[in-house]
Amino acid sequence: MLILIRRIRQVAVEYKRGDIERLLKEDLWVLGRRAYEIRRRLYGDRTTFISNMVLNYTNVCVIGCSFCAFYRPPGHPEAYGYTPEEAAKRVLAVDARYGIRQVLIQGGINPEIGIEYFEELFRAIKRRVPHVAIHALSPLEVDYLSRRERATYREVLERLREAGMESMPGGGGEILVDRVRRELAPRKIDSATWLRIMEEAHKLGIPTSATMMYGHVETLSDIAEHLYKIAELQEKTRGFMAFIAWNFDPGTSELGKRVRYPKTSASLLRMVAVARIVFRELIPHIQSGWLTTGPETAQLAMYFGADDFGGTLYEEKVLEWKRAEAQIDRREDVVDIIRSAGFTPAERDNMYNVVKVYGQGGQD
């Protein structure tokens, strides 16, 4: 144990902001080889995934992020919001059809929804499908609930945890540089608030994911700053389970009028490789980010340091057109994608514990 802790601390100290920026400029194939060696040492040829769904409980949002084509303002004819009962029934239906292990719950900042809504929803899910883990909300939603309920972040998180929330995704991270955040979404929480809420969750024993959305108005220096801030918090709390980088997709968003084309697949491979080199064991899992760049790039990402494919993402609506393009309709599709890349698929639970290994060549 002492050896592991010492190794983790060395990784965190080794890569400062300038070091990370230099890594981001290195030859892609050199980065890939280094990242793959680390991945092989930690996980061999095993790649994990989770059978899950995304419950987008509302598309109403008052934040107005320029990169989001999903949200609708209050009163919009296309606005929707599920009641807790309707939302829970959707989880039951997907579980009955596919058999899932996790529900990822996220939506917008809807002024009509308070903390009691989530308490009722979480309890309804755990009462009916207790085997489905609740991976829910984001620092932005926690901040909103804190202000709405006039409660501390800790009090909000404690209530959500008591109702059944087991972990928290890293939504709203984008780039943790305030100049970038003001340009993307001036009404969104700043980077210090995002990090503070994540730290509070970690202190309460609520593990989270860390995310990064790249490919818009950020610089390499901004990306390096983002990765360093996440590593710095992780060294302190050890609460991040995984890191997920995803590519901005213009779609029909307002930002898409300025940034008309997404970054190439090579950009994702670079982000995955640098994340694996910088985080090593500090953040144990790196996801391949298949939704925005496609399953083929996700296969390559396994050779650039990714050890987790992510989820099946049934019912995902925020990037619904990308979900439809991927043609991942069942867990067997994910298993085949991982196998065909030359890795051994392993289904995991919400806490990244392997629950089933699928052998190569159809041997399950």
Per the annotation, where are the binding residues for (3R)-3-methyl-D-ornithine?
138
Closest CA to 90 of 315, 245, 295: 315
Residue positions forming the annotated binding site for [4Fe-4S] cluster: 61, 65, 68
For residue 82 the two structure tokens come to: 């599920």
Closest CA to 171 of 202, 140, 216, 206: 140
In whole angstroms, give the CA distance from residue 297 to residue 266.
8
In whole angstroms, give the CA distance from residue 239 to residue 352.
13
In whole angstroms, give the CA distance from residue 126 to residue 134.
8
In whole angstroms, give the CA distance from residue 272 to residue 50.
19
Taking residue 47's Cβ as centre, other Cβ atoms within 10 Å add up to 27
Instruction: Count Cα atoms within 13 angstroms, Cβ side, for 283.
Output: 33
Residue positions forming the annotated binding site for S-adenosyl-L-methionine: 67, 174
Residue positions forming the annotated binding site: 61, 65, 67-68, 138, 174
In whole angstroms, give the CA distance from residue 278 to residue 239.
17
